[in-house]
Structure 1
Amino acid sequence: MATTKQSNDKMPNAHLHELFVDELRDILGAERQLLKGLKKMSSSAVSDKLKTAFDEHYTQTEQHIDRLKNVFQSIDLSARGKKCKAMEGLLGEADEIIESFEDSKDVLDAALIAAAQKVEHYEIASYGCLVTYANLMKHKEAEKLLSQTLNEEKQTDELLTKIAMNSANTNE
């Protein structure tokens, strides 16, 4: 299952290369799938603050996709994603939440934040692993790009927590 010319014994920790490439393809597919989910979550959100957060994350997700293309380029591969079953499941759950709580406007935003944070935590885990693999294989450019995205995903998770704690989860 050789995927690239970089997959050789001269690269440090070359045994991780196939896994690294597979995970890159998975997260590229996940980010592309997420674009549709973010549009739906934004249009379903009650508060303007949450709508804005989803809209800003949509723009950021487009940048993540571009950055992933640069990661692929940095390891001499064409950017090719694959369907991410985990993201498909997380977005399916978000759809169920929207359907279940669309008539409960006082709960909908809290439910949307919970669904969005599940997505963020999946992305944080994925990017965290990718940063580690890139570091171990001395893919310095890939590591730098992936670390930037990892930090942005963490910031988004923190923003969602703030919105939850300051408005969506309270009845004030």
Structure 2
Amino acid sequence: MATAKQSKTTDTKETKTAKGQTKPSNDAAENLREFLVDGLKDIYWAEKHLSKALLKMEKNATSTKLKDSINNHKNETDEQINRLEQVFEALGEKAKAEKCDAMEGLIKEGESIMEETEPGAVRDAGIIAAAQKVEHYEIASYGTLISYCELLGETEAMGILQQTLDEEKNCDTLLTKLAVSEINLQASKE
């Protein structure tokens, strides 16, 4: 039971102490391996939902190069989902997705951009911006999971995750090149 100096939050099932420290919820990870598995569940959900969102992004893009780039990344994302299932297996865990609030927010932001812009280069620039935010989140997530695997001696899982991290970095680089060399220039003239 919370004391007068503690208050419950409704969003995260956590209790805050008077000094601003957060007490963990009852289902909190107790060790780094559990934290790794929780992170995998999070990114597994994220990738599954991103796969669906990429279809909408491709449909709303006007640049053929951007459509092709999104389509290629959709195919990579589907393979990354398969790889995540391999990682769960390598760790002896059941592949399970748990809602990723961060990815949900990033996808909603991308949808808002598409709803608030007319078809053309400005929308395409917005789609690239939204996609790069997603890529940066994925890069951070996969990098963290790889670090945990390394510390825990989970080399098989680490190798699988590294392949995905490399793809995410490459996608970000390709999006930057497309934005800088073409899309953003066109958008600046609309």
Question: Does TM, scored on the shorter chain, surpass 0.5?
Answer: yes
Unaligned runs of 5+ in 2: 1-25
Which of 145, 161, 181 is the matching residue for 1:166? 181
Q: Give 1:48's aligned residue.
A: 64
What is the correspondence of 1:15-26 to structure 2 with a 5 Å cutoff? 15-26=31-42
Which of 71, 93, 97 is the matching residue for 2:109? 93
What RMSD, in angstroms, separates the aligned Cα atoms of the two structures?
1.9
What is the correspondence of 1:61-140 to structure 2 with a 5 Å cutoff? 61-101=77-117, 103=118, 105-140=120-155
Q: Give 1:5's aligned residue.
A: none
Q: Matched residues in 2 for 1:15 and 1:97: separation?
A: 39
Paired amino acid for 1:40: K
Off by >6 Å, runs of 4+ in structure 1: none
More helix by share: 1
Of structures 1 and 2, the one scoring higher in RCO (CA 8 A, sep 6+) is 1
**Identity in percent:** 47
Q: Matched residues in 2 for 1:36 and 1:15: separation?
A: 33
Deviations along 1:120-166, one digit per CA (max 9) or x if unpaired, are 00000000000000000000000000011000000000000011011
Is the Cα contact below 8 Å between 2:60 and 2:119 reproduced in 1? no
Is the Cα contact below 8 Å between 2:63 and 2:121 reproduced in 1? no
Paired amino acid for 2:61: A
Task: With the length of structure 2 as denominator, give the TM-score of the two structures.
Answer: 0.81
Q: Matched residues in 1 for 2:119 and 2:94: separation?
A: 45
Tell me the number of residue pairs that the alignment of Structure 1 and Structure 2 aligns: 162
Deviation at 1:104, TM superposition (A): 5.1
Unaligned runs of 5+ in 1: 3-13
Q: Matched residues in 2 for 1:141 and 1:34: separation?
A: 25
Task: With the length of structure 1 as denominator, give the TM-score of the two structures.
Answer: 0.90
What is the SS of the residue equivalent to 1:169? helix
What is the SS of the residue equivalent to 1:78? coil
Q: Matched residues in 2 for 1:90 and 1:121: separation?
A: 11
Is the Cα contact below 8 Å between 2:125 and 2:184 reproduced in 1? yes
